[in-house]
A and B are shown apart, each in its own frame.
Chain A
Amino acid sequence: MKYAFFPGCTMANRLQFAEKSVRMIVPEFGVELVDLAFTCCPEPNAVRSLSEDTWVTFAARNIALAEAENLDILTACAGCHESLTLAKHELDTKPERKEKANEILKGMGLEYKGTSSIIHVHQLLFDEIGVETISAKVVRPLPIKVVTHSGCHLLRPQKILQVDDAEVPVKLDMLCEALGMDPLEYMDKVMCCGAGVRKTDSDTSYAVLKEKMTSMVMVEPDAIVVFCPTCFITFESGQRITNRLFKTEFKLPVFYYTELLAIAMGLPDTDALLADHRVKIELPEFSDTKKEDSESIPT
């Protein structure tokens, strides 16, 4: 399997270790990644608010780049995934949109055809590779309690994105179970992290985060597991600001799922991934949790 990889600007410029973890694990499942000259997806909230036409045309150009190489796109950020997928839906269902975009793309030697599909790492792992295959690769189970947050932009609108159930998402929990983790149910599981209004009204944004994290800590998890770099940053850095603003005492480590997958698979150099985490966690020692040889090596 070969994909045009779309890490997105937040992951590429601010959460490089998460990008590294994606690039580390995919070859283990026979997946090859190709980098193309993508622009920002563009981010689904800001640019689209100013001009729908601008938003959809940027997305059309990005998808057309992958189509020119006959590749599907693999996204790693929930925001990029939503933006590209919704734009594709617009272009595929409204011929006048597609025509208009293609008139502009022609000037760049590109054409949007609608032939490339867009999948997120979440879908690659759950739908394409599958929990059983992942589980079989685990040599170092991670017996920690986690709360998962798939991210608004992977869940909604469900009828178009079709990643998981928008109200009761379970797939990320199952992916965590495959690594030996114990995913906990919590009240506001599908609630937003607040990132969308951070720049416009930061106090409101952190008030949303406080609500979300209050719900998380009620079930006493060891860590948060996410599939979106923006949500990652909101939880990890935002909890300190929330603590300052609201006198809360949040101190939860955050992981992008593939970081934990790389660790559980026993891949080398995973310490480099964790070095930049701002809230540390003592993961159970390898020797304590290592699977018996008979389990990890198929005979």
Chain B
Amino acid sequence: MVDNSHNQELEDLREAARPCFQCGICASSCPVFRVAPEMNPRMSVDSIITDGQVPAEGNEWLCAYCLMCEERCPMGVSLTEILMGIRNISSKEGKAPPDFVESAEALLARGCLSPTSNRSVKKRVDLGLPDLPQPDPEHVKLIFEVTGAYEVLEANRVAVKEEAE
């Protein structure tokens, strides 16, 4: 499972996390930690620095991406970069939660995450809003293909299927 690019990604994260001295202002600023303490950015960073691995619990997927931790970190550690990096590595292993996979599927199918419906189209017409030009679906496919998104999607589709079985 662990290939070299994976190790390099972890090494980069470790480097990014190095200035952290575990003060905990990230956790105390986190709106999710306030109501669900299992989501703790400090612990995620600690796992990277101390154990050199992505935490197994997967609590990083509970990050609301509000960036408060990053804004307040006295050492200028980019918590976002670290949490995103952890999620990127987990995704390659097929560990992305179903709703993240659904979002990527929606982007692939329609070029947007929030779907149009007959009702939404009618609402636009009623309000006199213009028809928005639609992106070329080939552009969307090309980006998925060249940036490795198909592989990540496939890894997670398989994981979702195995889970269901």
A positions within 8 Å CB-CB of B:
7, 9-10, 12-14, 16-17, 19-20, 23, 35-40, 42-54, 57-58, 61, 104, 107-108, 152-153, 155-158, 166-167, 190-192, 194-197, 199-201, 204-205, 207-208, 210-212, 272, 276
Contact = CB atoms under 8 A, between A and B. Distances in A.
A9 B124 CA distance: 13
The DSSP consensus for interface residues of chain A is helix
Given A36-B133, A49-B88, A211-B31, A197 B111 contact: no
Given A156-B66, A204-B35, A47 B103 contact: yes
A49 B132 contact: no
Contacts of B123: 16, 276
Nearest to A107: B142
B42 interface: no
A37 B134 contact: yes
Given A39-B112, A152-B65, 20 more contacts: A9-B114, A12-B132, A14-B114, A20-B129, A35-B133, A37-B134, A37-B135, A40-B107, A40-B111, A42-B113, A46-B113, A51-B88, A51-B147, A51-B148, A57-B146, A61-B143, A108-B142, A155-B71, A167-B71, A192-B68
A38 B32 CA distance: 32
A78 B12 CA distance: 29
Contacts of A43: 103, 113
Interface in B10-53: 31-32, 34-36, 39
B78 to A, nearest CB: 8
Given A36-B133, A51-B147, A51-B149, A197 B32 contact: yes
Contacts of B146: 57, 104
9 contacts: A19-B129, A20-B127, A46-B99, A47-B107, A49-B100, A50-B87, A51-B88, A200-B97, A208-B31
Interface residues of B, number: 62
Contact of A54 (B71, B100, B149): B149
Given A39-B112, A104-B146, A152-B68, A16 B124 contact: yes
Contact of A23 (B34, B87, B111, B129): B129
Nearest to B130: A35
Contacts of B144: 54
B3 interface: no
A52 B112 contact: no
Contacts of A13: 112, 114-117, 120
Nearest to A52: B88
B159 interface: no
A207 B36 contact: yes
A44 B120 CA distance: 23
Given A208-B34, A211-B31, A50 B152 contact: yes
B140 interface: yes
B62 A201 contact: yes
Given A166-B71, A272-B127, A49 B84 contact: yes
A35 B112 contact: no
B134 A45 contact: no
A194 to B, nearest CB: 6
Nearest to A190: B68
